[in-house]
Each structure stands twice: as structure tokens, then as C-alpha cells.
Amino acid sequence: MMQPELRTPTVGIDSVEHAARLLPLWETAPGWKGFFTTVDHKQIGIRYIVTAFVFLALGGVEALLMRVQLAGPNLSVLTPEQYNQLFSTHGMTMIFLYASPILSGFSNYLWPLLLGSRDMAFPRLNALGYWIYLASGLFLYAGFVTGNGPNDGWFNYVPYATRDFNPGLNEDFYALGMVFLGISVTVGAANFIVTAFRTRAPGMSLNRVPILVWGTLTASVANLIVVPAVSLAFFLLWMDRQFGTHFFDPAGGGQPMLWQHLFWIFGHPWVYAIVLPAMGMVSDGLPVFCRRPLVGYSLVALSTVATMIFGFGVWVHHMFATGLPGLGLAFFSAASIAIVLPSAVVVFAWIATIRLGRPVITTAFLFFASMILLFVIGGVSGFMTASVPVDLQLTDTYFVVAHLHYVLIGINVFPVVGAAYFWFPKMTGRLLDEKLGRWNFWTMFIGFNLAFLPMHLTGLLGMPRRVYTYADYGGWGTLNMITSVGSFVFAVGVLLFFVNVIRSLKRGALAGKNPWDAPTLEWSTPSPPPPYNFAVIPTVASRHPLWEGRLGGDGALSSLDRGMMLDHGKETVGTSALDAVPDMVLEMPADSIAPFMLALGLSGLFVGLLLKSWTSVGIGGAIAALAILVWLWPSTELREREPAHG
Amino acid sequence: MVETVICAPVNLPVGPIRRHGIGWWGAGTLIASEGALFAYLLFAYFYTGATAPAGWVLEPSPPLKLALPNTVLLLLSSVAAWWGEQGILKRERARALLGFGAAFLMGAAFISIQLMEWHAKAFGIGTSSYASLYFVTTGFHLAHVVVGLLVLLAIFGWTALDYFSPQRRLVVSAGVLYWHFVDAVWLFVFTTYYLTPYLGFGR
């Protein structure tokens, strides 16, 4: 029997019978079986989001403990070692286990809906990414709860991190955990890239995709290329610590600066990777509440890409004080200053959108709009440290801590909470409470600025970061007390958000398809969307398929109700990379246990490496290899082989 | 009256046809990421060497007696894999099996010879930063060769089971592409470790 190689997809409209054919193909099995085998991007996305918020809460509690210790001079709530592990684990948690996965979660959930597709390009890889994220997060936290958390800061400089100065398992947990987590980030990035280029709805040419797609795509290209740098750095560190190599050890001809280069070659693009998708959320969400399209779509999209291109060439600005040659510093300083330009373009596009629109003040709008202010503050302090002489004064002081929190909380947490208010109705079918939302916003906004605005001054007054206590010198005590109070206010604000989510899950007002009257494809699906997202594949004629007809102009209209049915199997359509012309019917994989088994095998492998238990390495590796073999075994359903043969 | 556009294509390929399928893109992203990994390994070599005092390279004239023929062997294995892939395209299963089998054996021989190389070195992994870089970089490459061999083995087995046709064979092409990558990246490692000292780097 031959399977047909070509088919003309039937075009039609949704019907009860059609939905009844699609549902069993796409639905996740109920109970435990479905839990471990699902490849539905919506379920995986929500898992990412929930897990990342749990890590946000953990990292927040760690921060509060530190703020108690630092509330006044000469306190001894924490020992120096406890403090070291807390600030390092806080950084690791927020940067690696919250800031990036939360964006992956939103993008995983939203992308196929934004793109008019039925799933990500590689659904099983998507599941694998989540399981490894969870496993590596547990691995890293297993170190912390057994007193073996990282204790050398999140960027983990040698020689502090080498065995001579750090003999415990702390750095081994961190090093191996980061290599493990890197697999998750890499497979996720690969999936986003292929999804963006190959599974957009017909007609959705690259200049019609929402900015969130530009943001996550750009971040993913960067991650794909730079994550190997940090994975390698941590692997080499582990080799130095456990197998007597000399990569970072000057006594053996090693080069300590190699650590800093490899780390920041990864680290700085990573900083953009954890803000560009969040900026995309603002670029897509803010205009909805301004009741007009984003001003300067093309400029914003190009600026997103330009930021990342500059972002590859600025890593040395983390190393201005290391004694590198002046000519090199000048180059990296110039690049770090130039990167302000694309960021400014985006900021002005947002401001113009508000100015030229008719803003509707909602909680989501407040989070998105306030982010512009926080971005500018964080941007200006970053611009200051891009200057070598200024940086020499400010490096390793609280000024830098203030800067990075304005960037990470301002451009990640605020947009993310705004995005939660915006897309929660799509995910759950219910709206978050607006009244509680105002309390939520203002508590977070006031608390955050109370905590971190004075911290700039603390830094200008010379207080060094990463010390567990300090003498009452030059007004440091008062400033730190204000920061500690502000941090608790901020924490209450975040708590209000969690309360709102839990309350609204059951009691929130019903949302309907499109509660915000927003223009993009996800709002044309029911809330929450069915497992197959779109009963028929839409055809897209503009950037705002749901606003056509009122934006003026006589452009063609998108077709949302009529389109390819694709109900012969678990199918969606593959389109060309730039113009999104359909070029194949994609056969999508069914639910599978292989991703979970692979993550499980890798967990055994990494635990084995940590404990140098080669049996565990062998068993874990064998399970992983077997899972890959099962996964890749050519299947007839996916048309990877000829059914007539074999 | 504005019109509604409905995309109604005719005769779309169903599933991966030839190299045309998202699996091919997946293989591309994997190779991009792995290529970056080797770029960082070589960066580590050049950066450490460039900032080290003279005499950093422990073998100022690395012996090429084994390494050069071994390099040629690995490249020939790529040719064998390509020749086998052409067998699938021409529906000649015996030729395909011969090609993949030969590529596998040549890759295995490469590993043995590389292990002999390792054994013959006067230094060990802990001797100096140069030695650490040498063993870890070539070790990373060996690990990739091992993965590549497993891929060739899988393709060999699936071909033996008569799974593929000239149309349905993306798995084969992606696997062979990975093998080409493993071989191509060795040229960079080989040039860096075996040839640049002759040009004076790190001596």
C-alpha cells in the first residue's frame, strides 16, 4: 500500500462533525498518562509559566531574607556563608529558572495561536524542554537545600569557584546543573526558530507576525549560538575541579580570564534574550489598550534584531575593571553605547503609540506603560556603566545592583505580569480581577521603586555589592533600611498577583473569545482554545486580522472561518520561510512518553556525574539513548518511511 | 467591495518528501549549536595560547604521521556516507548498506587511531592548560564521532529493514548531514591543534 505523496487539502468551515473528528486526534489523554505524555503546547506553556512563577516566589523569599540581614548595619541574622549561598541562589533562580522560562512559557502557549498553527514545529521537543527545565531546576535546588548551593555569585568567577577555594559540592551542583539546563534552553530555541520560519498561517509573511514572535525568535537565535559558551565554561570548570585539568588555573598555565570571556559571551546576549520577548509582549499588548496599531512596526521589529546583533559585541563591558587593553575596552564601550539607539527607537514607538491612541486604563495597560519608565531608568544607568571611566567607579557597587534590577524587574517582571493580565482570559476563559489588579500594580510599582531607586545612591556612595554586612558609613544604613522596606512592599504586591490568579481561576468574570477587542489571531479562538487551536487554518491578509475593516484602507480581508480543514490525521500546514506560502502538510506526532524518559535518563546521568557514580551515569545514559531511539524511529504516521516496505 | 483571501493550495506534499521537511531544519539548528560549541573550544585554545608565555604548546611540531592519514580517513568516510545516501536515491539498497557500513567502519577506525594518538602523547590531561585543552577538545570531537557512529548504525539498520525510498528518506539525509558535520568540524580541530603550531602559534 502506498501513501499518497501529494494531496489537495479540503477547504471548508468549522462544523460539529469536523470538530468531532479533530478532537480525538489532538486531545491529551486524561489522568497520569496524559500528564507524562502530552505534547500540547498549551499545556506545556502553562507548566512552564507555573513552574517559573514558583521559582520567582522562591527567589523572592531568598531576596527578603537578604534584605532582613541588610536592613541595618552590623546585623547577624545570616552567617557570611548563608548569605553567599542566598545571593548566589537568588541570582541563579531569577535569571536562569524564572526570567527565561517564564518567557518560554508564554511563547510556548501563545506562538501557535499567534501564528495560526495547531502546535509548535516539534511538539515532543517542546515537552522535552519543559521536563529538562524542571529536572535541572530540581537538581540545582537539591544542592541548595542540602547546603550545597552556589556561593560564588551567579556569574561564578574563578578562582573563587575552583576547588582549592571552594572544596564542597556547591560548585559541582551549579556547574552540572547549568550544563543540564542548557540542553533545555537549546532545544527550546531550536523549536522556536523552526516554528517561526515554517508553521505560520498562509499569508502571514514575516512582516505580519506579532512583535512577540520577533522578540522570541531573536532571543532564540542568540540562545542557540551562545548557550554552548556557558555550558562549555561550566563543563571546563567541573573538569578543573574534579579531574585536575588547568583551564582556569594559572599555576598550570590556565587563564582565569577565559572564564569571564566564555561566561559573558553567553551572558550578555542572554540579558537581551530575557528582555526582548518581554518587550515584544509590550509591543503587542500596549497598542490593544491604546486602541490603535503599534507605531513603527517595522522599526520596532528591526530594532529587536539590531539590539541582538549589537548584543553579541558588548560582553566585555562586564570586564572593564579586569585590566584588558584600552583599545579593546574602547571598542566594547562604543558598542555598549550604540546599543542604546535601537532601544530608544522602541521606547519612542511605545510612547508615540500611547500619545496617538486613546488609552484605556486597565491593569495590563498600567504594567505595560510603567515598564517604559522603568526601562528608561534601567537603560540610562546601563548607558552610564557603558562608559569605561564611569564603570571603573561604579563596578561592584550597589549602583550595578540597582541597574540590573531595573532592567530585569522593569523589563521582565512588569511586562510578564501585564502579559498575565492580558492573556490569562485566553488561557483560562476568565478575567483577572481589575480592582485587585490596581492594588497589585500600585503595590508592586511603589514597592519596587522604593526599594531600588535609592539603591543607585547607595552605590554612588560606594557601598560594595555581595558583602553580607556593612558598617554604618556615609548614610548606608538609612538607604538600606528604605530598600528593605520597599522590597517587602514589592513582595506584597507580587503576592497580591498570586492571590488574584488563584481567586480568578474560579470566580473571575467569563472572558469570551476576545475580551479586549484585540487584533491578533489568538483572540479568534475560544477561551481557552480547543486542543487543535484552529478548526480550520486561517488565511492572513494583514497584521491585524481582527481589526480589518475599521483601520481604513481597502486591503483584502483575512479568512478566519473558512480555510484548510486538515482532518485526515494530526495535521497542520507548513509554509515557506518568508512569504508563508503553504508548501506541505505537516504530520504532527501523537503524545509520547519518550521526552519524559529522555529527561529521566539524563537526570540519572547528571546525578551520576555529580556523585561520580559511573553506574548511574551508565544506566541514565542507556535510558536516554533508548528514549532517543524510540523517539526517532521512523514512523509511518509521520510519513518518515514507506509503509509498503519492512 | 473588499475581498476575502482564502488560501486553497493544490497538491501539497504530505509529510517530509526528499529533504523537504521540518526535520531538515531541526538538523540545521542542531548543527548550528554544535558548531558554536566547537567555535568556543577553539576560542579557548587561541585565547589561552595567545595570552600564555612562549613555549605554551607542548609539541611545537605536532607529529602528523598518524593524524594526517586519520584525517583523510575521516573525510573518506563522509564520501562513503554520501555514496550510500545516493544508493537510497537510486533504490539500490545493497549500495546504501555498503556505503553506510563502510562509513561506520572508517569512523570506528578513526576512533581507534585517535586513541593510539592519545596513548602516545608524552603528556596527560593534567600536565598543563595546553594538555587539558588538547585532550578535552579532541575528546569532545571523539564523543561526537561516537554519536555519529550511532546515527550511522541506526540508518544502516533502518535501511536493512527497507524503510526508505527516494521520496521518504529525510531521516537518512539528516543523519548523513550530521556525519558530514562531524567530519568537517574535525578539519577545524585538526588545523588548530596540528597545523597552527607550524605557523608559529603558541611556540
Integer Cα distance of A221 and A530 in angstroms: 30
- B6 vs A562: CB contact, 8 Å cut-off? yes
CA torsion, points B182, B187, B190, B193, in degrees to nearest 10? -100
* Residue A619 burial (C-beta neighbours within 10 Å; 0-12, 13-18, 19+): middle
CA dist A48 → A136, A588, B178 (Å): 13, 22, 31
How do residues B40-89 score in pLDDT, each as one tens digit? 999 999 999 999 999 999 999 999 999 999 999 999 999 999 999 999 99
Domain definitions of chain A by residue range:
11-18+518-580, 32-507, 594-632
Integer Cα distance of A367 and A175 in angstroms: 35
**Contact call for residues A198 and A575 (beta carbons, < 8 A):** yes
How do residues A463-506 score in pLDDT, each as one tens digit? 999 999 999 888 999 999 999 999 999 999 999 999 999 999 99
B66: its cell numbers: 598518524
Search chain A and give the residue with CA nearest B28.
A190
Enumerate residues 32 to 91 of chain B having a beta carbon within 8 A of any beta carbon in chain A: 32-34, 36-37, 40-41, 43-44, 47-48, 51-52, 56
- CB-based contacts of A445, cutoff 8 Å, min separation 6: A366, A370, A493
B109: its cell numbers: 577506525
**Contact call for residues A624 and B147 (beta carbons, < 8 A):** no
Q: Tell me how crowded residue A639 is: count the other CB atoms within 10 A of its CB.
A: 26
pLDDT at A592: 96
Question: Does the pLDDT value for residue A423 go beyond 50?
Answer: yes
Task: Establish, for the pair of chains A and B, how many residue pairs have beta carbons separated by less than 8 Å.
Answer: 221
Q: How far, in whole angstroms, is CA B151 from its chain's centroid?
A: 11
Q: Can you state the angle between helices A340-356 and A363-385, rounded to 10 degrees?
A: 150
Integer Cα distance of A184 and A141 in angstroms: 17
DSSP H helices, A274-362, are 276-290, 297-311, 326-338, 340-356
pLDDT at A637: 87
* Residue type at position A536: V
**Contact call for residues A602 and A180 (beta carbons, < 8 A):** yes
How do residues A569-622 score in pLDDT, each as one tens digit? 999 999 999 999 999 999 999 999 999 999 999 999 999 999 999 999 999 999
What are the E-state strand segments in chain B? 12-13
User: Would you place residue A2 in the very low, low, confident or very high pLDDT band (cuts 50, 70, 90)?
Assistant: low
Integer Cα distance of B89 and A584 in angstroms: 21
User: Would you place residue A318 in the very low, low, confident or very high pLDDT band (cuts 50, 70, 90)?
Assistant: very high
Integer Cα distance of A492 and B183 in angstroms: 56
How do residues A428-462 score in pLDDT, each as one tens digit? 999 999 999 999 999 999 999 999 999 999 999 99
Question: Does the pLDDT value for residue A646 go beyond 60?
Answer: no
For chain A, the first-to-last Cα distance in angstroms comes to: 12
pLDDT at A644: 67
User: Would you place residue A645 in the very low, low, confident or very high pLDDT band (cuts 50, 70, 90)?
Assistant: low
CATH topology of domain A32-507: Cytochrome C Oxidase; Chain A (1.20.210)
CA dist A474 → A66, A397, B80, B106 (Å): 21, 14, 74, 71
pLDDT at B3: 82
Question: Does the pLDDT value for residue B139 go beyond 50?
Answer: yes
Question: Does the pLDDT value for residue B1 go beyond 80?
Answer: no
Enumerate residues 151 to 190 of chain B having a beta carbon within 8 A of any beta carbon in chain A: 154, 158, 161-165, 167-168, 170-171
How do residues A96-106 score in pLDDT, each as one tens digit? 999 999 999 99
Integer Cα distance of A283 and A279 in angstroms: 6
Helix, strand, coil percent values for chain B (each to nearest 5): 70, 5, 25
Residue corresponding to grid cell 509573511: A205
- In whole angstroms, how large is the CA radius of gyration of chain B? 21
pLDDT at A3: 64
Q: How far is B58 from chain A (nearest CA, A)?
A: 11
Integer Cα distance of A55 and A70 in angstroms: 22
Cβ-based contacts of B132 with chain A (< 8 Å): 239-240, 245-247, 252, 254
Question: Does the pLDDT value for residue A568 go beyond 80?
Answer: yes
Give the percent of chain A with pLDDT over 70.
Answer: 99
- In whole angstroms, how large is the CA radius of gyration of chain A? 25
User: Would you place residue B8 in the very low, low, confident or very high pLDDT band (cuts 50, 70, 90)?
Assistant: confident
Closest residue to B56, CB basis, from A9, A253, A563: A253
Q: How far is A166 from chain B (nearest CA, A)?
A: 19
* Residue type at position A401: V
Integer Cα distance of A124 and A129 in angstroms: 9
Search chain B and give the residue with CA nearest A199.
B22
**Contact call for residues A620 and A602 (beta carbons, < 8 A):** yes
Helix, strand, coil percent values for chain A (each to nearest 5): 65, 5, 30
**Contact call for residues A296 and A342 (beta carbons, < 8 A):** no
Residue corresponding to grid cell 550597589: A398
pLDDT at A363: 98
Enumerate residues 88 to 147 of chain B having a beta carbon within 8 A of any beta carbon in chain A: 125-133, 136
User: Would you place residue A551 in the very low, low, confident or very high pLDDT band (cuts 50, 70, 90)?
Assistant: confident
Residue A609 half-sphere exposure, CB side, CA atoms within 13 Å?
Answer: 21
A66's enclosing H/E stretch is helix A41-70
